[in-house]
């Protein structure tokens, strides 16, 4: 990041950081643990060391923990191994239903960059053609929700397909060798499948439903260190605002950090939505719809209320 861009990014949070230095030191916070996947704002934040630069004056180190998908990150957050991280819409629903100690800290509306792929020469050309087919996706991930709502759109049920639960690194080869006949996935794997693994987009998630990503925090961390969490959200938001205006640099940053080729990350960056903001009533309503749908299908064991675990900052 150029120096002038970093100064613009930092100005909104510098005062808060200075004010909170003594309070955080007294609270004994020495390290913040951030969960991330190989996509989006967290990767950019890590590459630019934005959190490290922000918290260094407070004597707080930042540790980054990589996950292949959201569900294992939620498990780590529940036991306190991770303080904060970004996931899609489904992982926190499954986690809340299981009683996980998490809260929604911020939201990020998704406009593109996820959907269902089929091989280019596949006879599957419509959603209805998925009936009886093996569809791969990560259980409990945002792709799980894409599958459920796509089937619903075509008047199919979850029982009409054969779900094959695979992590993204396992699903890619399975898709390429024909072990699964369709693959629900998000960027950059979505772009990899399309560009490198002979994939054709059957449907984009945005054609099916509104969806959101979320920044989730460990509940006890949010309760005990609310001002600190607000600073993390502020830095995340500032980085996201920068990313919206610098997509070419975002692609280069993502390629450098993840090792995924620049052409793939360029596709992902150009169609991504980066803006981060509060968990609004509209976002809560959309997420509640996801939870209600999963409960109706028996995918989660009990009904949940999303609003119950939305964190509200007390910062003024």
pLDDT tens string 259-303? 889 999 999 999 888 999 999 999 999 999 999 999 999 999 999
Q: What is the reported pLDDT for 243?
A: 93
> What is the C-alpha to C-alpha distance for residues 206 and 219, in angstroms, rounded to an integer?
30
The percentage of residues in the chain with a pLDDT greater than 70, rounded to a whole number, is 91
Highest mean pLDDT among 205-209, 261-265, 310-314: 261-265
pLDDT tens string 15-26? 444 444 445 444
Contact between 210 and 286 (Cβ < 8 Å): yes
> What is the C-alpha to C-alpha distance for residues 65 and 298, in angstroms, rounded to an integer?
31
22: which residues sit within 8 A by CB, 6+ positions away? none
Q: What is the 3-state secondary structure (H, E, C) of 63-99?
A: EEEECCCHHHHHHHHHCCCCCEEEECCHHHHHHHHCC
The dotted CATH code for 3-110+211-309 is 3.40.190.10
Average pLDDT, the chain: 90
> What is the C-alpha to C-alpha distance for residues 225 and 219, in angstroms, rounded to an integer?
10
Contact between 194 and 201 (Cβ < 8 Å): yes
pLDDT tens string 49-67? 999 999 999 999 999 999 9
Residue ranges per structural domain of the chain: 3-110+211-309, 114-207
Residue 186: alpha-carbon gap to chain centroid: 9
Q: Which residue has the tokens 């590459």?
A: 47
> What is the C-alpha to C-alpha distance for residues 77 and 207, in angstroms, rounded to an integer?
32
Choices 2.60.40.10, 3.40.50.300, 3.40.190.10, 3.40.50.880: CATH for 114-207: 3.40.190.10
- Does pTM surpass 0.85? no
- Among residues 190, 145, 139, the alpha carbon closest in space to that of 163 is found at 139
Secondary structure class of 62 (helix, strand, coil): strand
Secondary structure class of 39 (helix, strand, coil): coil
Is the pLDDT at 256 greater than 70, yes or no? yes
Q: Which two tokens stand for residue 2?
A: 């150029």
Is the pLDDT at 1 greater than 70, yes or no? no
The DSSP element (H or E) to which 176 belongs, if any, is helix 168-176
Secondary structure class of 172 (helix, strand, coil): helix
> What is the C-alpha to C-alpha distance for residues 213 and 86, in angstroms, rounded to an integer?
7
**Average of pLDDT values for 228-255?**
94
């Amino acid at each position: 990041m150029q120096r002038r861009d970093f100064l613009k990014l930092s100005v909104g949070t510098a005062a808060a950081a200075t004010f909170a230095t003594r309070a955080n030191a007294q609270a004994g916070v020495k390290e913040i643990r951030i969960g991330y996947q190989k996509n989006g704002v967290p990767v950019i934040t890590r590459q630019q060391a934005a959190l490290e630069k922000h918290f260094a004056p407070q004597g707080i180190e930042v540790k980054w923990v990589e996950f292949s998908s959201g569900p294992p990150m939620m498990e780590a957050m529940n036991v306190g191994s991770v303080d904060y991280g970004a996931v899609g819409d489904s992982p926190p629903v499954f986690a809340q239903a299981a009683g996980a100690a998490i809260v929604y800290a911020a939201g990020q509306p998704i406009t593109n960059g996820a959907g269902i792929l089929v091989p280019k020469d596949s006879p599957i050309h419509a959603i209805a053609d998925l009936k009886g087919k093996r569809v791969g996706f990560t259980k409990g991930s945002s792709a799980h929700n894409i599958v459920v709502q796509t089937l619903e759109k075509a008047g199919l049920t979850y029982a009409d397909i054969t779900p094959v639960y695979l992590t993204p690194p396992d699903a890619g080869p399975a898709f390429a060798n024909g072990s699964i006949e369709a693959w629900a996935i998000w960027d950059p794997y979505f772009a990899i499948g399309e560009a490198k693994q002979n994939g054709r987009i059957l449907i984009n998630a945005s054609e099916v439903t509104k969806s959101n990503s979320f920044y989730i925090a460990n509940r006890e961390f949010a309760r005990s260190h609310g001002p600190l969490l607000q600073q993390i959200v502020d830095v995340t938001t500032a980085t996201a605002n920068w990313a919206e205006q610098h997509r070419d640099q975002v692609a280069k940053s993502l390629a450098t950090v993840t090792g995924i080729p620049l052409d793939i990350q360029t596709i992902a960056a150009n169609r991504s939505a980066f803006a981060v903001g509060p968990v609004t009533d509209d976002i809560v309503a959309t997420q509640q719809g996801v939870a209600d749908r999963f409960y109706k299908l028996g995918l989660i064991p009990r009904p949940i209320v999303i609003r119950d675990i939305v964190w509200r900052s007390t910062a003024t």
